[in-house]
A and B are shown apart, each in its own frame.
Chain A
Amino acid sequence: MEEYVEISHMKKSFDGLSVLKDISLSVRKGEVVSIIGPSGSGKSTLLRCATMLDRMDGGSLSYLGKKAAWEENGKCVYASKNEMKQIHRQFGLVFQNFNLFPHYTVLKNIIDAPVSVDKVPVKEAKERAEALLAKLGLADKRDAYPYQLSGGQQQRVSIARALALQPKVLFFDEPTSALDPELTGEVLKVIKELAAEHMTMIIVTHEMQFAKELSDRIIFMEQGVIQAQGTPEEIFSCDNERVRDFIGKFQG
C-alpha cells in the first residue's frame, strides 16, 4: 500500500505549552481519515503542521515518500525551497473560513494558482475550472465574486480552488463549522462525492454522522495525543470512556 502522508513523532508546542505530543499517523492512497476530538485537542494544529502553515518542533513528515521535514541533532529541519515546491504540490487545504480571494471572480480564484504557480496554460486551466464548477454545481457562478455567494457556495468554490491544482491529498479544516446548518449539507455532499472517487482526504470535523458514514478510519484526539483510532464501527462502539463521552455528547 502506498503511503501518501506519513507523520511520525510530530511534536509542537506554543510558548512552552505542548499542543502536539508525539503524533504518528500515516494515510494511504485513497484513504479517508477523519479527525475528531474536543476543541483544544490539537486537531487543527496537527493539520496546520501537516500542511506546513506551522512549523513543527520535532518528528518527521513526508508526502508520497518525499521527506518534507525530519529531525537532525534534536532539531527539526525542513526540505530545501525547491524540494518544498514539489512537496507543496502534493496536497491542498480547505479552510474553515474559505479564505477565497475577494477581489477575484470564482473562475479567477480557481485558475490563478494553476496559471501563475504551476504555469498551466490559461485555456487548460479554464477547462479544468469549468469542469470542476460543473461538477460542484456552480457552473452559473463562474463570474460571481465571493461576496455574492452563500457560505456553502464559497466553501464549494474553495474546494474547487484546491482541486484545480490536482493534489494527491486534500486536507479539510472543519469545512462546515463556519456554515449555517442548512448549508452544511451541500458541502458534505461534495466531500462524499470526492470520497467515492477515492480522493485521499484528511478531515478535521465535528460532524459525527458524516465522519461515520464516509471515513475509512476515524482518529480521536485529545490533549495532543491520538487517544483512539479505528474504523467508524470500532470508534462508535469503543470502550474508551473518553471517546464514548465525546461521541455521546454529539448524539445527545
Chain B
Amino acid sequence: MSIATMVAELAKGMVVSTEVFVLTLLFSLPLGLILSFGRMSANAPLRLVTKIYISLMRGTPLMLQLIVVYFAPFYVFGIKISSGYRFTAVILAFVLNYAAYFAEIYRAGIESIPVGQYEAARVLGYNRVQTFFKIILPQVIKRILPPVTNETITLVKDTSLAFVLAVTEMFTVAKQIAAKESSVMPLMAAGAFYYIFNLVVAMIMERLEKKMSYFR
C-alpha cells in the first residue's frame, strides 16, 4: 500500500473521529453546565444524585461506559439493538462521560467568582437568570478556558475508544492497515494525525483565551 493510499484511508477514518469529537463537545458542554447546577443546588437530594453521577462517570473507564450504554437497551429494557445504534451509543456515552468532567470545571469556575459580583447584581435589580448569564458566565468562561482546553485535547485522543462498539474511526483504520501490512507506519501516521488535530485545537483555544483577555 502506498503512503498516499494509507493517508487517504486514515483521513476517511478521521472524518468519523471528528464527528465523535464535535458532537461530544456540542452536547457535553451545555449538559455539563446543567449538571454543575445540580451539583451546586440548594436541594440536597439533587446535589447528592449529581455528585454520585459525576463520581461514577469519572471513576469508571469510558470503555466500560461505552459497552454499558450500547447493551443497556437490550439487557435492561429488552429492546432489540439495531446496528445503527452503535454510533449513537458512542456519542451518548462520550457525552455522558465528558459532561461529568465539564460539570466539575464549571463548578470550580462558578465558585471562584467573588460573591460581591452577585451582590452588586442583586442590588442593581438583576434577576437570577440575568445575573448568571450576563454577569457571572462571561467571567466563568474566561477562567475555565485552560482546563476546558485540557479536556478537549483528551477528548481528541479518546475518540479512538469508539472502536469498542465497532465504529471505524481513524485509529481502528490504522490498526487494520498495520495488521495487514505488518508495519507500524500506519500507527505512527495515526499519531501524527492526532498531533496535528490537537495542535489546531490548542491554537483555537489560545485564540479564544486571547479574545477573552480584554478584561481581567
Contact = CB atoms under 8 A, between A and B. Distances in A.
B30 interface: no
Given A145-B214, A147-B216, A113 B138 contact: no
Interface centre among B122, B125, B130 (most CB of A within 10 A): B125
A240 interface: no
A95 interface: yes
A51 interface: yes
A99 B125 contact: no
Give the 8 A-B CB pairs with smallest separation, nearest first: A99-B120, A99-B116, A113-B124, A147-B216, A117-B125, A103-B215, A93-B123, A103-B138
A53 B116 CA distance: 11
B121 to A, nearest CB: 8
A23 to B, nearest CB: 20
Interface string A76-91: 0000000001001100
24 contacts: A51-B123, A53-B122, A92-B124, A93-B123, A95-B119, A99-B114, A99-B119, A100-B120, A101-B135, A102-B139, A102-B215, A103-B139, A103-B214, A103-B215, A112-B134, A116-B130, A117-B125, A117-B130, A145-B216, A147-B215, A147-B216, A162-B123, A162-B124, A165-B125
Interface of A: 51, 53, 85, 88-89, 92-93, 95, 97, 99-104, 112-113, 116-118, 145-147, 161-162, 165
B119 A145 contact: no
Interface centre among B119, B120, B122, B214 (most CB of A within 10 A): B120
Interface string B99-136: 00000000000000010110110111110001000110
A102 B117 CA distance: 9
A116 B216 contact: no
A102 B216 contact: yes
Contacts of A99: 114, 116-117, 119-120
B119 A113 contact: no
Contacts of A51: 123
Contacts of A104: 215
Nearest to B113: A102
Contacts of A88: 123, 125
A51 B135 CA distance: 20
B176 to A, nearest CB: 49
A89 B215 CA distance: 29
B134 A116 contact: yes
Interface in B181-216: 214-216
Contact of B126 (A97, A116, A162): A116
Contacts of A145: 214-216
Given A116-B134, A145-B214, A145-B215, A101 B126 contact: no
